[in-house]
Structure 1
């Protein structure tokens, strides 16, 4: 079922629900510049076999309001949008699964709204914490010295998008996914081409927004609150992630009190077919234990 909700004055968000209405709710939060339909259909279906799955378009993506050019907002406002989705749908508490920026938003929910979460799964993201990383040998690494984004990703992000038409834009996005996916699994060009075509059809145009990269990121650290976390949390380690490579996931698991860590072999900063089954298994094992 699809519907629009009013998240804030002048902000409407597209939402979709799938699965049994009486199942435990699970909210999917995608990454920066990504529509909710960027969650692969097989993964959504696998989760919806056990949960009432909700996904939605962030502001400036998909069918939701694109307001940034006239009314800039802060990244934490996107976390407020997630709460607004739950409120509008009458959901008191939900499992939350966030990827990349969505994983950061999920951390904000862990810190600021723990009473609204049944569990959190954090995928391909980094800690909103200033706590140093502790290596297995006991030595520590300041957060500023953790590995940065791979040069090939930065080079791709630095290229101007331009105006090339829908087909060329889809091809550009497929190349983007190729770089993000890492080099440990064969790249499925057809899968990501179909994904991008679905996003363009869903959105109604092929333009992409840079709003999330330009939005104010200040005030996002939640060091102390994450260290006191009491919500069941799972960190997904993507060993081939060129954006937040190891030991970012290990560091995140250290920063979020009580978090467990599961590695998905070969996974990068993308969701290709090869990782969907093990990822769904890890998420469902986690949510099943948390639901009890």
Structure 2
């Protein structure tokens, strides 16, 4: 079922839920500039075998309001929007799965709204913590010295996005997914193209916003709250991750009290069909035990 949820005067969020109405809720939070359809239908349906799965469009994506140029907001507002999505469905608590920026937003929920969470699963993200990473040899590494984003991605992100028409935009997005997927799994260009066609049809436009890249990033540190949380947290480790490369996942698991870590072989910063089954198994095993 689809609906629009009011987030503020003049601002609404597109929200969809699938699965049995009485199943435990599971909220999916996508990354920067990505609509809820960034979660592939196949993966959503697999998770909906045991959950009422909710996905939604951030502000400035998909069918939600695109207000940033007139009403700028900080990134922390996007975490509050996740709570609004739950409120709009009348859900008091939910399991939360966040990917990329969505993983940062999920950390904000763990820190600021633990009473609303049954559990958290974090994918492809970095810790909102200043706690050093403890290397297996005992060396302490400050977070700012951990490996950064792959240079090929940084180069692509630095290029201006020009309107050359729908098909050219699709090709640009397919190449982006090729880089995000890493180099350990085969890349299916037609699958990526099909996913992006759905995203574009859903939004009714092929232009993209840079709102999330321009939003205020202050006030994100949650070192103390994450170190003291009682929210059961699973961290997904992706060995081919180019945005938050190893050992970011292990640092994240160290920064969050009681967090567990599960590796998905070959996974990068994308959700190709090859990772759907192992990722679903990891998430459902986690939520079943919370």
**Aligned 8 A contact 1:24 1:51 in 2:** yes
Q: Counterpart in 2 of 1:224?
A: 224
Runs of 4+ in 1 over 3 A off after TM superposition: none
Q: Counterpart in 2 of 1:60?
A: 60
Q: Counterpart in 1 of 2:18?
A: 18
1:285 and 2:281 correspond: no
1:36 and 2:4 correspond: no
Q: Counterpart in 2 of 1:129?
A: 129
Map 1:63-82 to 2 at 5 A.
Answer: 63-82=63-82
Give the drift of 1:14. Answer: 0.4
Map 1:159-198 to 2 at 5 A.
Answer: 159-198=159-198
Residues in 2 aligned to 1:164 and 1:15: alpha-carbon distance in whole angstroms: 30
The runs of 5 or more residues in structure 1 that have no matched partner are: none
**Aligned 8 A contact 1:166 1:205 in 2:** no
Indicate the SS of the match to 2:96.
strand
Name the count of aligned residue pairs: 290
Indicate the SS of the match to 1:267.
coil
Map 1:266-277 to 2 at 5 A.
Answer: 266-277=266-277
Give deviations 1:93-113, integer Å, cap 9, x for gaps. Answer: 000000000000000000000
The runs of 5 or more residues in structure 2 that have no matched partner are: none
Task: State the superposition RMSD in angstroms.
Answer: 0.5
Residues in 2 aligned to 1:218 and 1:10: alpha-carbon distance in whole angstroms: 25
Give the drift of 1:179. Answer: 0.4
Give the drift of 1:88. Answer: 1.4
Give deviations 1:64-111, integer Å, cap 9, x for gaps. Answer: 000011111000000000001111111000000000000000000000
**TM-score for both structures, normalised by structure 1:** 0.99
Residues in 2 aligned to 1:21 and 1:82: alpha-carbon distance in whole angstroms: 19
Indicate the SS of the match to 2:170.
helix
**Aligned 8 A contact 1:111 1:222 in 2:** yes
**Aligned 8 A contact 1:106 1:122 in 2:** yes
Residues in 2 aligned to 1:60 and 1:9: alpha-carbon distance in whole angstroms: 15
**TM-score for both structures, normalised by structure 2:** 0.99
Q: Counterpart in 1 of 2:3?
A: 3
Map 1:199-238 to 2 at 5 A.
Answer: 199-238=199-238
